A and B are shown apart, each in its own frame.
Chain A
């Protein structure tokens, strides 16, 4: 008869030792109880299953004694944090989607409302305003450029000197 413990039995003993190590010091008698119970289980595979369960029980007991881990609170916190992160993510995604349109040119919305011009000329000048203004500046250089509806940040064309 082979008196040496089988592989399963050795694993079971190792697991039971680990379970005892995992358990905090206060309920160490429980670890000893689980370990001693192992010696009364004849079947080696059953002993291994028992030891595995004991290890799980030790981890459970360890987690329950962790001050910030009560059985229900962490899940509530995790669920709230997850929901908040999801909401923030959705809001950021929506914001990013609205930013995809390219910025419009600054002069597009510039009001074309020259002050001292008759309504006819105003209509002719300002619809559309960009190209016609440039043409008028070239045709009538003495009047000077009408910069009322052009981009004021752009450099102004040089005015030719009078002879």
Chain B
């Protein structure tokens, strides 16, 4: 049976982190600290989700001078739907596990 796409533990953790502050733009390093994902895992995931149209990104101007602009990310409407579905699935799975 083929594996469901975007269903790995790391992807689910990332989508859950985005879902917590769905309307906010998030930085890579903040996401790394929140999810515990290293940059070697985080950036391939961000690239893939962005290619699939689940994430949107833009450059944010720095708050302090002398620093470079930062790349920031946010879920698209499709990404938001997927993240919510996965959250519901996770809750259902937890309930099933608790009952069993």
Binding site for B on A (CB under 8 A): 27, 29-30, 32-37, 39-41, 49-57, 60-61, 64
Binding site for A on B (CB under 8 A): 27-29, 32, 38-44, 46-47, 57, 67-71
Q: How far is the CA of A27 from the CA of B43 in the complex (A)?
A: 11
- Identify which of A33, A55, A56, A60 contacts B28 (C-beta below 8 A): A33
Secondary structure of the A side of the interface? helix
Note all chain A residues with C-beta closer than 8 A to B71.
Answer: 29-30, 32-33, 36-37
Note all chain B residues with C-beta closer than 8 A to A52.
Answer: 39-40
- Identify which of A50, A55, A61 contacts B44 (C-beta below 8 A): A61
- Identify which of A30, A37, A51, A53 contacts B47 (C-beta below 8 A): A30
Q: How far is the CA of A49 from the CA of B29 in the complex (A)?
A: 12
Q: Is the CB of B43 within 8 A of A34?
A: yes
Minimum distance in angstroms from B67 CB to a CB of chain A = 6
Q: Is the CB of A37 within 8 A of B28?
A: yes
